[in-house]
Amino acid sequence: MRKLLDFLVRKRHWFVFILLEFVSLTLIYRNNVYQRNIMFSTANVIAANIVSVTGSVTSYLDLREINKELLERNGKLEMELLMFKELVEAMKADTAVFRAFSMDNVRLFPYDFVTAKVINNSVTYLSNYITLNKGKKDGINPDMGVMSDNGAVGIVIKASDYYSVVLPLLNTKFNLSCKVLGSSHIGSLSWNGRNARYANLDELPRHVQFQIGDTIVTSGYSTVFPEGILVGFVSSFERQRDDNFNSLKIELATDFQRLNNVMVIRNFRQEEQRAIEEEVKVND
Amino acid sequence: MISFVRNLMYFIVLVLVQVLILNNIHFLRLVTPFLYLYFIIKLPVGLTSSKITSASFLIGLTIDIFSNTPGMHAAACTLAGFSRPLIIRVLMGEELSDTVFPSYKSFGYGGFSRLVATLVVIHHLTLFLLESLTLFDPLFLSIRIVASITTVTLLICIVEAFNIESQKNGD
């Protein structure tokens, strides 16, 4: 007995080692199930505070570039607005006045957005995450879509009171339902872990017509993103093994390496849609 | 006590440098320099195995929190910390005094860089293999591993050359 105890005490570093490895591996495993329970993450107040210090410093470095982009985008939107105004004028002049206009036909746009700043970001791992400087107190909750000025970014997976963590397109665990602009067949966008500029759009039926350079947008088949948010552009394609589907290489519209300001999209009717979908599934 | 404060300083400084600066570097999209391994290397030789393992686990977990990778760095660091006493015994023999910590002076250039290289290899192999469990892309993976190991080993050797503490009382 004494010898056994002696042995255990002498070899105690083995037990420490095995225990700690077990803890680490448990963390990894739990995290892989679905990224919901990250206890140890930058949504944690202390970690987020430290990180946001650098975030506030580095955000000044890109200001010139961001300003230029915003100006360009502003100009583009203004041109679009002018175009639409002109279109409306032309149509008004062209059509008889429609007096029996019923409000019921108007689909209210159920989306709203909150702007937030990126305070932590990575692009080199296989599982990348982005931390934002706003959380539940600002109305951000898990399962909200996130987009930048240029296009889709990802989905909020965890929100603490003042911070939230986003699962971006640049995470091998993330799939986004997308389509080629102008067609209605959907494919699933995923990242292969290599290049932060490109992602793959798989399972797109072969008969869908497209060309190199075509725009890829979100399909709107989820409660997270509205339809038609820019995701990227087709850069090349190849047939998949079973020949019925195309696999497209997409150049992402969002430059994740220079991500600075983002918009979190709130969908007022998300709960409602979820609930009704769940109900149907239960009845099945 | 002094030794504890010294280790704590190393811990804080290296974690901050890693999290605030180095985690944002992705050289050629291949290499992120994990300089924080320097902490595990610079722990005193006299610490017991279990203390070194726990300290390594702690720094790994801290880095995990900041880079949103639960468990991966912790697992890799625990293994590296656990194997450190073994490696030192193999490389340097048993005759080191307890107060010594690894440096060019106490280990010699060859000995120290071999220690660094071995630990970095153990850590990076574990880290990258854990990270890519889901993704089978052997060529890219091996390029990343080799590039990272080379960079980090060189970086740690360079940092050690400029470390004032080692030059003052390296013996």
Quickly state the pLDDT bin for A8 (edges 50, 70, 90): confident
Higher pLDDT, A128 or A56: A128
Quickly state the pLDDT bin for B170 (edges 50, 70, 90): very low
Integer Cα distance of A128 and B24 in angstroms? 12
Answer yes or no: is pLDDT of B151 > 80.
yes
Euclidean distance between the first and the last CA atom of chain A, given in angstroms as a whole number: 61
Distance, C-alpha A152 to centroid of its chain: 6
Q: Which of A146-160, A237-251, B33-47 has the lowest mean pLDDT?
A: A237-251
How close B131 gets to chain A, by Cα (Å)? 7
Integer Cα distance of B71 and B77 in angstroms? 10
Question: Does B57 contact A23 at a Cβ distance shorter than 8 Å?
Answer: yes
B interface test, pick of A8, A12, A20 with most B CB neighbours within 10 Å = A20
Q: What whole-number percentage of chain A has pLDDT above 70?
A: 88
How close B167 gets to chain A, by Cα (Å)? 31
Three-class SS of residue A147? strand
Q: What is the pLDDT of residue A108?
A: 60
Q: What whole-number percentage of chain B has pLDDT above 70?
A: 94
Name the pairing type of β-strands A152-159 and A245-252: unpaired
Q: What whole-number percentage of chain A has pLDDT above 90?
A: 4
B interface test, pick of A14, A17, A58 with most B CB neighbours within 10 Å = A17
A interface test, pick of B29, B68, B72 with most A CB neighbours within 10 Å = B68
Answer yes or no: is pLDDT of A244 > 90.
no
Quickly state the pLDDT bin for B158 (edges 50, 70, 90): very high
Question: In which domain, by residue range, is B148 found?
Answer: 2-168
Interface residue B165 vs chain A (CB under 8 A): no
Interface residue B49 vs chain A (CB under 8 A): yes
Integer Cα distance of A226 and A109 in angstroms? 9
| Chain B residue with the nearest C-alpha to that of A44 | B65
Integer Cα distance of A80 and A74 in angstroms? 10
Question: Does A24 contact B72 at a Cβ distance shorter than 8 Å?
Answer: yes
Q: What is the pLDDT of residue A196?
A: 83
Concatenated DSSP letters of B44-85:
-TTS-HHHHHHHHHHHHHHHHHHHT-TTHHHHHHHHHHHHHH
Query: How high is the mean pLDDT of chain A?
Result: 81
Answer yes or no: is pLDDT of B117 > 80.
yes
B interface test, pick of A28, A45, A198 with most B CB neighbours within 10 Å = A28
Q: What is the pLDDT of residue A107?
A: 54
Q: What is the pLDDT of residue A33?
A: 47
List of residues 6+ apart from A148 with CB closer than 8 A: A254, A259, A261, A262, A263
Total domains in chain B come to 1
How close B28 gets to chain A, by Cα (Å)? 10
Answer yes or no: is pLDDT of A98 > 60.
no
Hey, what are A215's tokens?
A: 């725009």
Question: Does A28 contact B71 at a Cβ distance shorter than 8 Å?
Answer: yes
Q: What is the pLDDT of residue A39?
A: 57
pLDDT tens digits for range A174-227: 888 998 888 888 889 988 877 888 998 888 888 888 888 899 998 888 778 888
> What string of H, E and C letters represents the secondary structure of A40-61?
CCCCCHHHHHHHHHHHHHHCCC
Interface of B with A in 3-42 (CB under 8 A): 16, 19-20, 23, 26, 29, 32
Question: Does B64 contact A129 at a Cβ distance shorter than 8 Å?
Answer: no
Q: What is the pLDDT of residue B59?
A: 93
Integer Cα distance of A249 and B166 in angstroms? 51
Q: What are phi and psi of A125, to 5 degrees?
A: -80, 175
Quickly state the pLDDT bin for B154 (edges 50, 70, 90): very high
Q: What are phi and psi of A56, to 5 degrees?
A: -70, -25
Integer Cα distance of B55 and A258 in angstroms? 34
Residues recorded for chain B:
171
Compute how many other C-beta atoms are within 10 angstroms of the C-beta atom of residue B39.
23
Q: What is the pLDDT of residue B140?
A: 82
Q: What is the pLDDT of residue A63?
A: 80
Integer Cα distance of A86 and A78 in angstroms? 12
Three-class SS of residue A132? strand
pLDDT tens digits for range A142-179: 888 998 888 899 999 888 888 888 989 988 888 889 98
* CA angle, residues B151, B157, B161, in degrees to nearest 5: 140
Q: List residues bridging with A217 in a β-sheet.
A: A179, A230
pTM equals 0.73
pLDDT tens digits for range A18-72: 888 888 888 877 765 444 455 566 667 777 777 777 777 777 777 888 888 888 8
Answer yes or no: is pLDDT of B46 > 90.
no
On chain A, the residues whose CB falls within 8 A of the CB of B134 are 32, 126, 172-173
On chain A, the residues whose CB falls within 8 A of the CB of B23 are 122
Residues recorded for chain A:
284
Per-residue pLDDT, averaged over A5-13, amounts to: 82
Question: Does B132 contact A129 at a Cβ distance shorter than 8 Å?
Answer: no
Three-class SS of residue B80? helix
Burial class (CB in 10 A: 0-12, 13-18, 19+), A149: middle
Integer Cα distance of A11 and B80 in angstroms? 18
User: CA A144 → CA A135, A136, A192, A203, distances in Å?
Assistant: 11, 12, 23, 25
Per-residue pLDDT, averaged over B86-95, amounts to: 82
Residue B2 identity: I
Question: Does B29 contact A28 at a Cβ distance shorter than 8 Å?
Answer: no
Higher pLDDT, A284 or A171: A171
How close B58 gets to chain A, by Cα (Å)? 10
